[in-house]
Amino acid sequence: TDRKKLHTAPVRQAFRLRPFHVLVATGGGYAGYRKYEDYRLEQLEKRGIEVPVKLASEWEVALYKSVPTRLLSRAWGRLNQVELPTWLRKPVYSLYIWTFGVNMKEAAVEDLHHYRNLSEFFRRKLKPQARPVCCLHSVISPSDGKILNFGQVKNCEVEQVKGVTYSLESFLGPRISTEELHFSQAPPGNSFQQQLVTKEGNELYHCVIYLAPGDYHCFHSPTDWRVSHRRHFPGSLMSVNPGVARWIKELFCHNERVVLTGDWKHGFFSLTAVGATNVGSIRIYFDQDLHTNSPSYSKGSYNDFSFISNNNKEGIPMRKGEHLGEFNLGSTIVLIFEAPKDFKFHLKAGQKIRFGEALGSL
């Protein structure tokens, strides 16, 4: 009898599951199942088979959100900063290169022993000639990645992938003061989309670029423009790969993101860096006050910061191709901007693109 007690006591303790453990286990298992579904859909797309859109229900989104992705992302970030022994660097980085198809010949430093930790390897710089900036077109790709969607914004809705949309106002947040952006005051009855268009005859356009883990993780200015305002939305850190973007409506509105707003020669211009699982760290080089993936935040909250001041009334001028920021791993860049009606994209949905290549022009 004593022997039985000795063996069964640990078993009884193992089955005393707390609600948090149940949520983590259930949510993690479901997330794994979704990863398998994403892989299956990608294989069907490669074979040219069109996959019908099937959106997640509210309980599925809630279950996915129960996975502590913010905590896991912070843990991943700390792990990335651990210095690896010199002898271990080449095997670890070589495995990553092989898994995600990284082209190290483009890196400014090809020697794998040079990178002290995974974070330095993720944020590696490129050789200057590796990404020539296109001078013939007005808007270039700010990063390497895959084009998920592009086109005109219609009815205040933006497509994150074909057939799946999100609200323009939910994504950007309330309109910034017209004084700060030097925009004319739109009539109060106009829609949010119409309020962003400052010049008669212009339209609002968008482009979504997904950065995979193997892509170059820095992003650059897509055009010559002036950054006036930063809005930081704390939020979830769900995966933003195309399979999940096809599954969860308004995915980009759920996730943590940094919205940079300003203007270019044709009016309103914005660039948004969207966080994702293991990408809690979003860095903007000229914004030292920005801190992403904090341990706690209020749901639905955001904080604003203006680059317009008494001493600096022009904001932050950015030149096309200039370094702007970086992710700690792959993620998503969303451009929303105003341009004349004859603006044309030089893209195809699903195509791979590299920083410096043309997105569109007049």
**Sign of dihedral through CA atoms 93, 94, 100, 101?**
positive
Q: Is 353 exposed, middle or buried (0-12, 13-18, 19+ CB in 10 A)?
A: buried
Is 144's pLDDT higher than 90? Answer: yes
Please give the pLDDT value at position 122: 83
Is 10's pLDDT higher than 80? Answer: no
Specify whether the CB–CB gap between 184 and 198 falls below 8 A. yes
Q: Which two tokens stand for residue 124?
A: 């590696």
| Rounded Cα gap, residues 226 and 258, in angstroms | 16
Q: How confident is the model at residue 151 (pLDDT cuts 50, 70, 90)?
A: very high
Instruction: Specify whether the backbone of 193 is left (phi greater than 0), alpha (psi in -120 to 50) or beta.
Output: alpha
Please give the pLDDT value at position 14: 44
Average pLDDT score over residue span 144-167: 87
**64-101 pLDDT tens trace:** 878 888 888 888 778 888 899 999 999 999 998 998 88
Strands laid side by side in the 323-327 sheet: 218-220, 323-327, 282-284
Is 11's pLDDT higher than 70? Answer: no
Please give the pLDDT value at position 84: 92
272 or 313, greater pLDDT: 272
Q: How confident is the model at residue 352 (pLDDT cuts 50, 70, 90)?
A: very high
Tell me how crowded residue 45 is: count the other CB atoms within 10 A of its CB.
Answer: 15
Specify whether the CB–CB gap between 218 and 323 falls below 8 A. yes
**HSE-CB of 199 using CA atoms within 13 angstroms:** 17
Helix (H, G, I), strand (E, B) or coil at 81: coil
Is 339's pLDDT higher than 80? Answer: yes
Q: What is the DSSP letter of 212?
A: P
Q: Which residues are catalytic?
A: 144, 220, 331
Please give the pLDDT value at position 209: 94
The domain locations on the chain are: 69-130, 139-175+192-361
Task: Name every residue whose Cβ is closer than 8 Å to that of residue 353 and which is 6 or more positions away in sequence.
Answer: 141, 144, 145, 146, 147, 209, 347, 359
Specify whether the CB–CB gap between 259 and 348 falls below 8 A. no
**% pLDDT > 70, the chain:** 81
**203-230 pLDDT tens trace:** 999 999 999 888 888 999 999 999 999 9
Please give the pLDDT value at position 19: 54
